[in-house]
Chains A and B, each alone.
Chain A
Amino acid sequence: DTAVSQTPKYLVTQMGNDKSIKCEQNLGHDTMYWYKQDSKKFLKIMFSYNNKELIINETVPNRFSPKSPDKAHLNLHINSLELGDSAVYFCASSQEAGAWTEAFFGQGTRLTVV
């Protein structure tokens, strides 16, 4: 069973389109995240949700809108896609308990905007 699963794995779309990436975790975790890995391979956090509530929003353009229908799902919707949005997007989850935590990452969604 895949712990954190993202769909689709690959997404090619034209500039100006609106697209969504879905993420689901079956670990029972309270917290979910979206990270972006750009062409230079730097991984940066975008959003974090805890029990469906937004707790981190790292200066991401408002074209990006996360949606958490329940604590097992965190979807990422992107409006008016731009060339610079091309990247690999990783979903992750962790359990908000104790003094430390292990984050589990999905396999990534490679978004290419043409």
Chain B
Amino acid sequence: DAKTTQPPSMDCAEGRAANLPCNHSTISGNEYVYWYRQIHSQGPQYIIHGLKNNETNEMASLIITEDRKSSTLILPHATLRDTAVYYCIVSKKAAGNKLTFGGGTRVLVKP
């Protein structure tokens, strides 16, 4: 699975959009980009995924560059409950769909 690079931490003001970048320059054609988050003391939670096209759901939007070497997770209106570690993961469908977690980005939403 391709490796990802994320900033270790970032702050965001409550009510503002949070843009979380992720680099995955070695991604291959059949690999998806997944985003998960882990709120303190809880298990990781799926947010969104994409292959080539931009995606949006009730939690977030995912923007993937045309060359697929990077992506941005957008939390449109961050709330205090969005404070968490956000993981960008690149994975292809394989036996067990293994998710390889990196260090993630620790996002602190401030009032």
Residues of A that sit less than 8 Å from B by CB: 4, 31, 33, 35, 41-45, 48-50, 55-56, 90, 92, 94, 96, 98-108
Contacts and interface: CB of A to CB of B under 8 A. Distances in A.
B30 to A, nearest CB: 8
B93 A100 contact: yes
Contact of A50 (B95, B100, B101, B103): B95
Nearest to A101: B97
Contacts, number: 66
Nearest to B87: A43
How many interface residues does chain B have, given as a range? 20 to 34
Interface in B84-111: 85, 87, 93, 95-101, 103
Interface of B: 30, 32, 34, 36, 38, 41-46, 49, 51, 85, 87, 93, 95-101, 103
Contacts of B103: 41-42
A92 B101 CA distance: 14
A100 B32 contact: yes
Given A42-B101, A107-B42, A108-B42, A55 B95 contact: yes
A56 B42 contact: no
Nearest to B45: A105
A79 B35 CA distance: 34
Given A90-B43, A105-B45, A108-B42, A48 B32 contact: no
A102 B49 CA distance: 9
Contacts of A94: 97
